Structures are given as structure tokens and as C-alpha cells.
Structure 1
Amino acid sequence: MLPLLLEPADLAKHLGDDKLLIIDLSKPTIYVQAHVPGAIHLDFRRLQTGAQPAPGMLPDDDTLGDLFSGLGLTPDTHVIAYDDEGGGWAGRLLWTLDAIGHKHYSYLNGGIHAWLAEGHPTSSESTEPTPSDYEVGEHDPLTEVNLDYLLAHYQDPGVAIWDSRSEEEYSGVRAFAQKPGHIPGAVHYEWTDPMDKQNNLRLRPLDDIRAELEARGITPDKEVICHCQTHHRSSFSWLVGKILGYPMLRGYAGSWAEWGNHPDTPAEKSE
């Protein structure tokens, strides 16, 4: 069993293993230059509906079934995801898999940057998947939340809303929706804060990240709900929480695109 947070050196020992599906969510220009040998490229746009006003919504089960069949996913496949941006799109893929009940997955720590920095082998040849017939099972109700749930529970003392957007978006200085600001009571911890810019975008020491989250009130005893604008950046936040062992962790796919454009939602600005 491979760990959730997988180091490049450990993946290098398992290249070519059966039952391993390595998925690269980097920009196409990066993938064609260099990728992990055997990695299949996935256009990250296929992980969201793209439909306004909340483009980050999960595609329907038929669409996801077609997507994962095309990638060759089977129920006993272990997926390893990485990208070129420190984990946002890789996180979105893993959150999607978790939401549809596929629980065998790992994140390549640091993605392609860490892989290249350690001098592991790369390929520039496209890998063509062997298609499967993947059927999306029952969704895990503990992985995602919708607008109605969040409206009913955002003020609960046992709920922590983790806002992964930029400080400017959180405070209301910049807005990508009709309303500026944030969900009342939401806590800001930007999605890139856990990344070590000096260490090829690997995660910073986990104890440091844990301490920063807990200092903000994002504690493991709470139900933690992650969001950003479209649940791309916050999928990485969700993944970080998973790696830290947070037991009640969910993602809000509608995110600020839905909340900030809805007539009946409250919004708060920072002073």
C-alpha cells in the first residue's frame, strides 16, 4: 500500500507496477517536455462542469464514468496524481475520486518539480491509456457539501470554514462574484501556504502546517469545509487536511462562485 503523501524516490521504485495509474495534470506544454514515465495526461478542465455561475461543480456520474473509463481506471487501481503547480489540480482529481468512493490514491509530493529536481527518469512520449469500463458508485456523502448544507451549518460551533483564496479575495478587496468578501466566520489560510517554495513545492513540515491551522481554529475535532472560488485551490487544502489526518473534511464545489453570486447568502468583509 503506497502512502497518501508519496515521495518521488518512493514512486521511482514502483514505476511499471501493475494496478498503478499515474496521472499528470500539468499544462500540456510541460507534459510533452517531461513527465513521469508511464504517466497519462489529463486535461484538468474535465474535472469541473465549467457551467456558470458555479463552474467548479462536479460533472455528473455519466461524464465522470466516461472520463475515468478513458483513463483506464478500475476499482482496484491505485491512482497517483501530480501537477506542475504544487498540487491544486492533483488535489482536485483526488478529491473527485474520494467523492465517488474511489479511495486508493496518492499525491506525488512536489509534483513534476520535485521529480525533476531529484533527477528521476522522465519521458516525453505520450502514454496512451488502456480504456476500462468504470462505473461511478455511490458518492461518499462525507466528501462534498452543497449550498443548502453550508447555509444551514456555516454558523455551527463544530464547523470550520477554510477559505483558501488570496487575502485580497477573502477581505473583499478583489471579487470574482457579485458579492465581495467571505462566508461569515470563515478562516483564511491560502492554498499555497503549505507549499515550500524553496523545496520544489513540496509540503512544508507537517507539524508547522498543523500548528498554523490550529492557531486559526481549523482543528481536527471540527467538521472542516474547504472552499475557494471554484474548488480548485481548495482541493489542495482538502488534500493537505487529509494528509494531516483530519477526520471530518469536506469540499464545497460551488465555492465562492456559487455563494458570492447567490441572492440569499451572507457575506462579510475584513476591516
Structure 2
Amino acid sequence: MMTDFVSAEWVSSRGDDLRVVDVRDAWEYDGLGHLPGAVNVPFDSFRADEHGAESDAGDGMLPDEGDWAELLSEAGITPESDIVAYDDHHGVFAARFLVTAELFGHDPDRLHLLDGDFSSWQLERETTSETPTVEPTDYEVTRPDSTPLVGPDAVADAADDPDAVLVDTREDEEYDAGHIPGAVLLDWRNLVDNETRGLLPQDEALSVLEAAGIVPGKRVVLYCNTARRISHTYVVLRHLGFEQVDFYEGSLTEWEAQGRPLETN
């Protein structure tokens, strides 16, 4: 069970049995056009306030459960819906939507990230400015029995575990300025093909990961600042078949708020 990447051809072939979600701002959705049939669920609408990263429940930047259910209900989504999400930033915002859905219990096998973003799509395929009419649903959140979420103590332990690799998915400059002790650096964008704006070919992606010490046999623990960038890396790793991928939702916002140590380069 996992969220995966799907091609533009796959999305086009599915027709009405797929709920397409555009997570760009409303002005982009309305003014620049969108995929036919796509509903708009802007990124800011499913992000908690910054103070959420200190939540005792470990919810970090996740939205309120009721707010999430209302958003999906208004978008005409049911727990049985197959969803494909996209943005215009190589998929990083769309990945956050999909990870949020997974953490709130939507079947990961029904969650898909468009391989390539809006800019890639519009080069060869039809877009529209028409907002689809959708029938609201009564979406109910059913939290799964287990999730990839981990807290700061588990993150600290991972740095000393030879069977685990702690991964910082931010940019080089951010990593150098301060990172969790023992973390390796993997800028999430290094897994993106600049030409296609989608995921690197599998062999290339695996080579990038291996160079950073990230291999399928190890448990991978991900963090960034506010859990946006790790959402993309999480989806990539699960798509590539990594079985143990932990997700530090609180990330550095929580880590620093608790006064925990940082390393600098």
C-alpha cells in the first residue's frame, strides 16, 4: 500500500472515475487554467498555523481533522475516491496534500501524484478555466491504526542506529546553518528531473539516494522545517519501494522549539 506517481497519460485515460485535485492558489487555478475536471484545494487551506508544530499529539502542521473532512467533502471526495494531486512546483505541495490524506486514513493505494506538474501538463495537453460542478459528500476521517509519524525522541535515536538513516531534505545552505546531529543531506529537488518537472528515472533516483547513504535495506527518517519538503521525498521513497520510511511531522520547527541540539558545518 503506497502513494505512487502516475503519468499524464494515465490521468487522461481515467476520465470521471478519478478526482483530480489542484493545490495551487485560487488565482492560479482560475486565472491560469487547470486540468479538466480538477477541483481546487489550495495549499494554505490544509495547513495548520505555525504553532501546530509544538502539538503534544505530534500533529505538527497537519490541519484540524474536522477542517480536513470539510475540505474533502466540499471537493466531492469520498473515502473510496481515487485521487490524483498536482501543483506547479514539481509536486512538493501536491505531495503534502496526499501525505495529509494518508495520515488521516485515506487508502494510500488510492492516492496518486501527477508525475510532472501543471507547467509540464499544459505544454502538450488541454487545460480549462471552467470550474467543475461537484456533488458535496460527507467525508469522514478514520485515523489508521498505524502511521509513519515519529516524534523527536525517535528521531534522535535514529541518528545512532546503524540500521537507520536520518535525512534532512532542505537546501545545502540550510543544512550547513544547522541540522539535527547525525543527519545526512538530500535536497528533495535532487530527485526531480528539471526537464520533465517530474521524478527522475528510477535508476537515476536510486543512484542519487545511494550516494547519500539512503538504501532500501535501511529505515529512513525524514525531516525538513515544516514537513512540506519531506512529503515529496516520502512519496518518492514509497513509490520506489522503500518499506520503512518514518515521517517527522514536527521537523525542525518542533525540534528547535524544544531546545534540542543542532550541528553546523
Of residues 106, 123, 129, the one that matches 1:124 is: 129
The amino acid across from 1:134 in the alignment is: Y
Say which is worse superposed, 57-66 or 211-220, in terms of deviation.
57-66
Give matches, 1:142-181, under 5 Å: 142-172=147-177, 181=178
Instruction: Give the structure 1 partner of residue 83 of structure 2.
Output: 79
Instruction: Give the structure 2 partner of residue 186 of structure 1.
Output: 183
Of residues 101, 113, 122, the one that matches 2:119 is: 113
Secondary structure, in 3 states, of the residue corresponding to 2:165?
A: strand
Structure 1 residues 178-237: Cα deviation after superposition (integer angstroms, max 9, x where no partner): xxx1111111111111111122x1112121111111221111122212221111111111
Secondary structure, in 3 states, of the residue corresponding to 2:188?
A: coil
Mapped pair 1:239 → 2:238: no
Structure 1 residues 141-170: Cα deviation after superposition (integer angstroms, max 9, x where no partner): 332222343234442222212211110110
Quickly say closer, same or farther: Cα 1:91–1:257, change in 2 above 3 A: same
Instruction: Give the structure 2 partner of residue 230 of structure 1.
Output: 226
Quickly say closer, same or farther: Cα 1:39–1:140, change in 2 above 3 A: farther
Instruction: Give the structure 1 partner of residue 92 of structure 2.
Output: 88
The amino acid across from 1:169 in the alignment is: E
Structure 1 residues 128-148: Cα deviation after superposition (integer angstroms, max 9, x where no partner): 432211111123533222234
Preserved CA contact (<8 Å) 2:158 2:165 = no
Question: For residues 179 and 91 of structure 2, what CA distance do their matches in structure 1 show?
Answer: 23
Preserved CA contact (<8 Å) 1:81 1:90 = yes
TM-score norm. by structure 2 comes to 0.89
The amino acid across from 2:65 in the alignment is: D
Question: For residues 190 and 158 of structure 2, what CA distance do their matches in structure 1 show?
Answer: 26
Instruction: Give the structure 2 partner of residue 54 of structure 1.
Output: 53
TM-superposed deviation, 1:53: 6.7
Q: Number of aligned residue pairs: give it.
A: 255
TM-score norm. by structure 1 comes to 0.87
Instruction: Give the structure 1 partner of residue 214 of structure 2.
Output: 218
Question: For residues 63 and 153 of structure 2, what CA distance do their matches in structure 1 show?
Answer: 19
Instruction: Give the structure 2 partner of residue 253 of structure 1.
Output: 249
The amino acid across from 1:249 in the alignment is: V
Question: For residues 151 and 195 of structure 1, what CA distance do their matches in structure 2 show?
Answer: 28
Secondary structure, in 3 states, of the residue corresponding to 1:156?
A: coil
Secondary structure, in 3 states, of the residue corresponding to 1:22?
A: strand
Question: For residues 163 and 121 of structure 1, what CA distance do their matches in structure 2 show?
Answer: 37
Structure 1 residues 54-81: Cα deviation after superposition (integer angstroms, max 9, x where no partner): 3852123222222222222212100000
Structure 1 residues 224-261: Cα deviation after superposition (integer angstroms, max 9, x where no partner): 12221111111111111111111111221111111123
Quickly say closer, same or farther: Cα 1:141–1:60, change in 2 above 3 A: farther
What stretches of structure 1 move > 4 A for 4+ residues in a row? Answer: none
Where is the helix percentage greater, Structure 1 or Structure 2?
A: 2
Structure 1 residues 98-154: Cα deviation after superposition (integer angstroms, max 9, x where no partner): 112212111111121221122x11111223432211111123533222234323444
Task: Structure 1: state its 5+ residue gaps.
Answer: 173-180
Of residues 135, 144, 164, the one that matches 1:139 is: 144
Mapped pair 1:7 → 2:7: yes
Give matches, 1:199-210, under 5 Å: 199=196, 201-210=197-206
